[in-house]
Amino acid sequence: MFWLNLLACFTSLAVALAFLLSGARGRLAIRTGLVAVSMFAWNFASLAHDLTQKPTWEVLDLASSPLTVVLGLDLTLTFAGRAREHRGALLVAYAWLGAISLSNLLSYFVPGLAWWCDSTAMNALFLIGIGGAFGLALAVLVGHIRRRPGRERRRALLLLGGVLVGGLFGATVLVNSLWIQFSASAAPGAIVGAIALAFGLAHEDLAGARIGPQIWTAALGLSALACGSFLLALLAVDPRSSAPFFGTATIALVLGLMAREVAAQRARRREQELGAMVRGRISEQLVHDLRNPLAALHGAAQYLEAEPGSLTSEQAHMVGLMLDEVRRVERLVDEHHRMARAEPERAPANLRDMFERLAANGRAAFPQHPVTFEVAPEAERTEIDGDLVMLALENLVRNARDALPEGGEIRVNAHRDGRYLVLAVRDGGSGFEPRARERAFDELFTTKRGGSGLGLAFVRRVARAHGGDATITSTREHGTMVTMRLLASRSVRAQPETRSR
């Protein structure tokens, strides 16, 4: 058992250090690092307890091992792009297993709880938590493997192997303490889990940084040095003082990983805020610079239109065309300005008319992408900012066309859901890759070559400006549906027509 635990410590710590040294950032990278650190923590605590028989190490083992389970579930859901979908289950897992971890830690400091660590109740609750997390992780990974081909499937299979072996070996320790007495160890599961993390997730497109041979060499060397130092401290120093030393070093590693992620998130947020501010200022400057010449053109065209006798019929037609185009450019300038700011100006709107215009606009230019629509009677008349919502819908239809390079139908529909007006645009394209779907509404994030990463972010801004939100549902090879929920007023009744005598 000694060598198995030591090898588990070495491999787990090496994976954590590789992600830390590479500068890998992002939700998947930080979760991979934290899973590796937690595996290292309880494996070393188990090793130290076997060598010293001190209860401090057993408490550290029992306090850190539940965290590996829930962090592993979080990592699996993030990898498969299902974290938001299963947010409720993930919160329950964090609460359940976090409570077990905290209660085990408290049992060391509160004499009245000393019985809890080795109790049947704790082991049973822990086993239930492992079973729930294990089952959800398996279901998500199996579904991901069925839907995804090629390299992504191989990565998912590696992760599935790590979850299977790690979960089964971890559960044997609890089963051993509850019912059947046999020699059990979770260390083989940790070794296989660390290898699965190294080969399955340490890739540039997943980790956000290249983890090359030099980084792995440095990580393995530092891991060997750290494990040797911990063992030396454990055997040569008073065991009562070596536990705090180990705990401090582990916490420092966790904090280093978390600090990197926090810094990366703050940098991305600053970049997005700065980009939005710059775009807003550029938009305002463009509007200011264009309005004066447009006003001059508008005035000149109106002057010519007011003198019909001095123009031929063809010239009068051209002046009329000029006025129409100047007005259109003025509307586009105003819409561009409002698109940057997403400030709604509610007014009565007819969704059927808007959808008919949306379908007609693309009928001639994109005949291979017909737009069909359906409007529920109760949703037809409402109060929204028709121009902003139309811009958002045009963005979504444009995205749907891009997802259908060979052509195909684009469906748009609207209905009421209580106080909300629900607008949906659906295509039958190839769908979003799951991890991309999780970031689809982020500013400047795009999966298209030459894309700006602004379209879906604008759609969400419009929805939120109307007191709602936007969501995306996408399945590989089955298409994508983007839904806007707008907090709308009650349906506006059609006014009776007035007839002149």
CA distance 424 to 483: 4
Evaluate whether residue 71 is within a structural domain.
yes
Q: Are residues 42 and 114 part of one domain?
A: yes
Listed residues 317, 341, 365: the one ending a domain: 341
CA dihedral 187, 188, 194, 196 (to 10 degrees): -160
Mean per-residue pLDDT for 413-422? 90
DSSP 501: -
Residues 292 and 312 in one domain: yes
Token reading at 99:
């409570």
Q: What pLDDT score does 424 carry?
A: 92
Q: What sign does the dihedral 357-362-367-371 (CA atoms) show? A: negative
What distance in Å separates the CA atoms of residue 259 and residue 271, rounded to the nearest whole number? 18
The edge-to-edge listing of strands for the beta sheet with 420-427 is 371-375, 410-417, 420-427, 479-487, 469-475
- Identify the residue with better confidence: 106 or 248: 106
pLDDT in tens, 379-398: 888 888 888 888 889 888 88
The proportion of the chain whose per-residue pLDDT surpasses 90, expressed as a percent, equals 7
Kindly state whether residue 434 falls inside one of the protein's structural domains: yes
The residue ranking higher by pLDDT, 22 or 68, is 68
Residue 438 belongs to domain with CATH number: 3.30.565.10
pLDDT average, residue stretch 242-269: 59
Model pLDDT, residue 44: 85
Q: Do the domain assignments include residue 246?
A: no
Same domain, 326 and 358: no
For residue 422, the model assigns a pLDDT of 93
pLDDT at 413: 92
Please return the burial class of 86, using the count of CB atoms within 10 Å of its CB with bins 0-12, 13-18 and 19+. buried
Is the pLDDT reported for residue 250 higher than 70? no
Which range in 184-188, 280-284, 376-380 is most confidently predicted, on average pLDDT?
A: 376-380
Burial of 259 (0-12, 13-18, 19+ CB in 10 A): exposed
User: Which region holds residue 500: left if phi is over 0, alpha if psi is between -120 and 50, else beta?
Assistant: beta
Same domain, 205 and 227: yes
Which residues pair with residue 479 across a beta bridge?
475
pTM of the model: 0.64
| Ranges 146-160, 302-316, 317-331, 335-349: which has the least confidence | 335-349
C-alpha atoms less than 13 angstroms from C-alpha of 168 in its C-beta half-sphere: 9
**pLDDT over threshold 70, residue 116:** yes
Query: Which of 301, 321, 341 is the last residue before a domain boundary?
Result: 341
Instruction: Name the domain boundary from 313, 341, 369.
Output: 341
Q: What are phi and psi of 376, to 5 degrees?
A: -65, 145
**Alpha-carbon span 286 to 278, nearest angstrom:** 12
348 - beta bridge partners? 383
Cα 346–350–353 angle (5° rounding)?
130
Q: What is the pLDDT of residue 41?
A: 85
User: Does any domain span residue 141?
Assistant: yes
pLDDT at 335 (0 to 100): 63
Q: How far is CA 493 from the centre of its chain?
A: 40
Confidence of residue 498 (pLDDT cuts 50, 70, 90): very low
Q: What is the pLDDT of residue 289?
A: 75
More confident residue, 325 or 173: 325
What are the pLDDT digits (tens) for 210-244? 787 888 898 899 888 888 887 777 776 555 555 55
**How many structural domains compose the chain?**
3
Q: How close are the terminal C-alpha atoms of the chain, in Å?
A: 100
Task: Determine the Cα–Cα distance for residues 484 and 459; give it in Å rounded to an integer.
Answer: 8
**Rounded to an integer, what is the distance from CA 234 to the centroid of its chain?**
42
Same domain, 370 and 308: no
- Say yes or no: 323 and 179 in one domain: no
Q: Where in the sequence is the domain holding 185, given as residue range(s)?
A: 2-236
**Residues 52, 117 within the same domain:** yes
130 with 33, same domain? yes
Q: What is the pLDDT of residues 327-347, one digit of tens each?
A: 878 777 776 666 565 567 788
306 and 228 fall within a common domain = no
Report yes or no on 249 lying in a domain.
Answer: no
Backbone angles phi, psi at 421, to 5 degrees: -100, 125
Mean pLDDT, the chain, integer: 78
Tell me whether residue 264 is in a domain. no
Residues 462 and 391: beta-carbon distance below 8 Å: yes
Give me the pLDDT at residue 489, please.
Answer: 63
Where do the DSSP E strands lie in 435-478?
469-475
- How would residue 208 be classed by pLDDT, with cut points 50, 70 and 90? low
User: Where does the pLDDT of residue 496 fall: very low under 50, low under 70, confident under 90, or very high at 90 and above?
Assistant: very low
Confidence of residue 256 (pLDDT cuts 50, 70, 90): low
d(CA 214, CA 42) in angstroms, rounded, equals 28
pLDDT digits (tens, 9 = 90+) for 4-53: 888 888 988 888 888 877 766 667 778 888 888 888 888 888 888 888 88
* 366 lies in the same domain as 303: no
Residue with tokens 């090898």: 7
Shortest CA distance to 17 belongs to which of 270, 253, 304?
Answer: 253
Cβ atoms of 167 and 130 within 8 Å: the answer is yes
**Confidence class of residue 96 from pLDDT cuts 50, 70 and 90?**
very high
pLDDT at 151: 79
> Does residue 245 sit within a domain?
no
Residues 354 and 392 placed together within one structural domain of the fold: yes
CATH of residue 230: 1.20.1070
pLDDT for residue 139 is more than 70:
yes
Alpha carbons 171 and 192: distance in angstroms, whole number: 15
Which is higher by pLDDT, 235 or 252?
A: 235
Higher pLDDT, 113 or 94: 94
The reply to whether 320 and 438 lie within a common domain is no
Please state which of the ranges 333-347, 400-414, 444-458 shows the lowest mean pLDDT: 444-458
CA distance 138 to 239: 39
Q: With respect to residue 138, please indicate whether it lies within any of the assigned structural domains.
A: yes
Nearest to 366 by CA among 394, 335, 386: 394
pLDDT value of residue 494: 44
